[in-house]
Structure 1
Amino acid sequence: MNTQNQQKDKSIADLRIDYSHASLSEADTATDPITQFGRWFDEAMHAEVPEANAMSLATVGSNGRPSSRIVLIKQFDERGFTWFTNFESRKGHDLEQHPYGALLFHWIALERQVRIEGRVEKVSDDESDAYFNSRPLQSRLGAIASAQSETIASRELLEAEYTKAERQFGDNPPRPKHWGGYRLFPDTVEFWQGRRSRLHDRILYTLDVNGGWLRQRLQP
């Protein structure tokens, strides 16, 4: 390894921040994780964290290998966490084979993470229709034009598919059957708050057999 590469590796290894923004104790948290998530989400929005609604979604394919990507949360409530996508995409095929997922929110400005795991199901057609029809026209046409995750020979061909959809449907494109929402029903939710000396605060909620939530502190 040459000197330049050694210096580069050393500089990456030395990258670190000693977190000091806040703390998190059991007494600070709500009795259920959805309420607690709502508090933190509101604080992220108030702090103007860039794309606070962005989350990593991890799935597992039929070959047992995980994959992850960023998607945008569109709703959360006592039922779970909802996003919308192409059912025939890689993540859609993964969820068809293994209907479980893991979500990760990383709000670095607040030195916080939220990890969420659970079973995933498609939302109702009515919910998918309602959200699809609320989207900007260009986004609706894009959902029709793009066979997400499939290969295509050129950008020009993709834009030609968009123009074709635009000419065919005009200002009122219908929701394609291959596009809609998923909802993750959480069974574990972890709230992570960065602290000094890497002694981070971690509060884990676990769903019990009676539908209640157990709160525990994890070591960092």
Structure 2
Amino acid sequence: MNLLISLGIEGTAEKTGIGIVDSDGNVLAMAGKQLYPEEGGIHPREAAEHHAKWIPQLIPQAMEEAGLSYKDIDFISFSQGPGLGPALRTVATSARTLALSLNVPIVGVNHCIGHVEIGKLDTGARNPVTLYVSGGNSQVIAYESGRYRIFGETLDIAIGNCLDHFGRETGLGHPGGPVVEKLAKEGSYIDLHYVVKGMDFSFSGLLSAALRAHKNGERIEDIC
């Protein structure tokens, strides 16, 4: 049986991504471009414009990296959600247009499941319990009885939102995660309260404690 090849388009928020994979799980190409807002968080309209600009440029780049021609593509996949509405519509329109031009099927993919499945592919894990943390999601997920089930999740904000909010409020910029991670390597532990209830967790209290510590003059490296 010949391998099937999929070209995927990702654009749920501020990152535009093109990936090409085969049915054996081999990643043939990856190309991406991230939007860095001048201030504040991600504006949905700006994210959509970012995708509209970069998707047409990244697809040829990925095709060249994979060493393929468009007739080698068997179907188009795209991030169907969850995500920012305008960004998702831009991605869906791009995917449909490309699929129609190539006369191949189109497959919508849940962004969250994509995160989990690529982790399984990369590690070779079988039937794992997954801690899925991203900009807008923080969940404990496992596959049971033919479907993914959520066994625990954030009760308020996701850890990614927490880090981005902290970055904006303290002047570290957006996205906050990479900067916080870098500074944390230069700091020492201090007490910051957080909440875990069973398999659920909460980050709003942790964010408040971190911002309060910053206001009180604690070293930013230690808070991170």
TM-score band by shorter chain is under 0.3
Structure of greater Rg: 1
The structure where helix makes up a greater share of residues is 2
Where relative contact order (Cα < 8 A, 6+ residues apart) is larger, the structure is 1
The structure where strand makes up a greater share of residues is 1
Q: TM-score, normalised by structure 2?
A: 0.22
